Amino acid sequence: MIASDRISAFDVILPRTIPYKGQVLNQLAAYMLNATKDICPNWLLQTPTGNSSIGYKCQPFKVEVVVRGNLCGHAWRTYYSGQRILCGALMPDDLKENDFFPTPLITPSTKAEQGHDEDISEQEILRQGLATEKEWEQIKAYALQLFARGKELAMEQGLILADTKYEFGKRDGKVVLMDEIHTPDSSRYFYAEGFEERQAKGEKQKQLSKEFVREWLIANEFMGKEGQTVPEMSDEWVETISNRYIELYEKVTGRLFEPESISDEENYKKIADAMDKVK
């Protein structure tokens, strides 16, 4: 798998690439997969270059497992509209944006091959045969354990893992964690310092995630709907996004990001050499 520098939002690939984004996602995902492999098996074998990974091919469950510790993003937009049920999960009354839920909620969505992913309840997952009852119970257990570990790792770096999504598959009859985890494309982090004070004052939380890209698009009247046009991305804005991704990597891992600048030819050669050793 090669992580590209492309960026998407609202299920639309934006017109400009983001320097080093692929390396950030690939290296952060590898860090988190290695830090959670004692909880459940995952697909990763090795990362031969900064933006590539070699791993097992799995048969995916067509469900994205979203775990929410805080009322934000899509959950908040649903809550603010007056609804209290999201994907079959009950959201308590009298919460403010970004408040903690009493316990983390699992709010799945479909993994659409085309078009937009859609919210789905546990009952619909089972009714549509997207997973068996036994598989779904295992997936839920893994997801909550992974989220708990993710929160621990984040708190060690002064962050709050507010929400995230996991994707699972099957290999040799067993449930396996797939794809990236705990990256800015799949997760939302708040800064822990000052969190309670900002909540008490009703102030916006300081966060590390891709949400700032979505907010910029919304402010420019784009949400991926028919007839809408992606706003122009200036060089300055592209650089800002790149720096925010690098900031998140360094903040989450506590490591300095070291950009790898090699040609495509050298990149593919290193991947091919690693693949030969795996075989």
Task: Point out which residues pair with 76 in neighbouring strands.
Answer: none
pLDDT score of 94: 96
Mind listing the pLDDT tens digit of every residue in the chain (279 residues)?
899 999 998 889 999 999 999 999 999 999 999 999 999 999 999 999 999 999 999 999 999 999 999 999 999 999 999 999 999 999 999 999 999 999 999 999 997 665 567 999 999 999 999 999 999 999 999 999 999 999 999 999 999 999 999 999 999 999 999 999 998 889 999 999 999 999 999 999 998 878 889 889 999 999 988 899 999 999 999 999 999 899 889 999 999 999 988 888 998 899 999 998 886
Task: Point out which residues pair with 54 in neighbouring strands.
Answer: 46
Task: Point out which residues pair with 12 in neighbouring strands.
Answer: 9
Listed residue (84, 88, 190) closest to 136, CA to CA = 88
Residues with Cβ within 8 Å of residue 205, at least 6 apart in sequence: 72, 98, 190, 191, 195, 198, 199
- State both tokens at 35: 């830090």
Residue 70 burial by Cβ neighbours in a 10 Å radius (0-12, 13-18, 19+): buried
Tokens 């985890």 correspond to 181
pLDDT score of 112: 65
Q: At what angle do helices 133-156 and 21-36 cross, to 10 degrees?
A: 110
Listed residue (36, 147, 167) closest to 101, CA to CA = 147
pLDDT score of 150: 97
Residues with Cβ within 8 Å of residue 88, at least 6 apart in sequence: 121, 122, 123
Would you say 89 and 143 are in contact if contact means Cβ atoms under 8 Å apart?
no
pLDDT score of 246: 93
> Rounded CA gap, 274 and 2, in Å?
13
pLDDT score of 115: 56
CA distances from 271 to 244, 259, 276 (A): 28, 17, 9
Class of domain 8-274: alpha beta
DSSP SS3 for 240: helix
CA distances from 81 to 86, 201, 266 (A): 12, 22, 51
Tokens 């050499």 correspond to 273
CA distances from 218 to 17, 164, 165 (A): 19, 21, 22
Residues with Cβ within 8 Å of residue 225, at least 6 apart in sequence: none
pLDDT score of 218: 92
Greatest Cα pair distance in the chain: 57
CA distances from 7 to 42, 64, 67, 262 (A): 24, 19, 22, 21
> Rounded CA gap, 22 and 99, in Å?
31
pLDDT score of 111: 76
- State both tokens at 150: 């993710």
Would you say 60 and 177 are in contact if contact means Cβ atoms under 8 Å apart?
no
